[in-house]
Amino acid sequence: MKDFLESLEIGEGKVKLSKEEIKSILTEHGKTVTIETEKVKTDLTNEINTYKTTISNLENQIKDMPSSDDVTKLQKEIADMKQAESQRLADEKAKKEDEILTNNITEVFGDKKFTSDYARNGLIADIKAELAKDENKGKGINEIFTSLTKDKEGIFESENKMAEIPGFGSQSTNLTEDDFIDKVMGLK
């Protein structure tokens, strides 16, 4: 994000941000990330404590019961519940990490417009795959983005859109000859 802010040009005069302004923006961004992380941690801690209490209560019930098929079933339920909770926590952590990575990747895109959501989503997936490779350890998102898109066509919309030109031939039109020529040339 620091590289992005250092390369950002603002306004008609194309003014760059000062180091103090960049530092201030990064500090505020860090505060926001910290606050959101703490909220997630608090929510997860409360949920975990609820599950721990439930599990503890169930384990205590098992201790007080005589050995039987019901106890075996209850023990299996507890084991399944522990496994499901572990999996849920792992899935939630992976999802949150993926969201953060996706947001960081989309920040690198800047104001580029993609030819389709398919191209955009495909590029995000390709960047994630490249980041996971051992040979790309230490490379930044921006570097990988540049290497994946350099000299590639069909990813981004062209800034120079093609004008539609009506066909020539035996078209009957109510336009004057000058109006027809202006229309063919794309003039108003």
Mean pLDDT in order along the chain per 10 residues (188 residues):
74 78 86 90 91 89 73 88 93 92 87 86 90 89 87 78 65 70 78
Residue 125 lies in a domain: no
Residue 156 lies in a domain: no
Residue 31 lies in a domain: yes
What is the structure's pLDDT at 166?
Answer: 64
Residue 9 lies in a domain: yes
Residue 49 lies in a domain: yes
- Residues 157, 115: Cα–Cα separation, whole Å: 5
Residue 176 lies in a domain: no
What is the structure's pLDDT at 170?
Answer: 56
Exposure string (b/e) for 62-72, b if CB count within 10 Å is 16 or more?
eeeeeeeeeee
Residue 130 lies in a domain: no
How many domains is the chain built from? 1
- Residues 86, 103: Cα–Cα separation, whole Å: 26
Asked if 81 and 73 touch (Cβ cutoff 8 Å), the reply is no
What is the structure's pLDDT at 149?
Answer: 87
What is the structure's pLDDT at 154?
Answer: 78
Asked if 124 and 105 touch (Cβ cutoff 8 Å), the reply is yes
Residue 181 lies in a domain: no
Task: Give kind and range of the element (H or E) at residue 9.
Answer: strand 9-10
What is the structure's pLDDT at 96?
Answer: 93
pTM, to two decimals = 0.43
What is the structure's pLDDT at 172?
Answer: 56
Q: Which domain holds residue 72?
A: 1-111
- Residues 43, 10: Cα–Cα separation, whole Å: 39
What is the structure's pLDDT at 68?
Answer: 73
Assign 99 to helix, strand or coil: helix
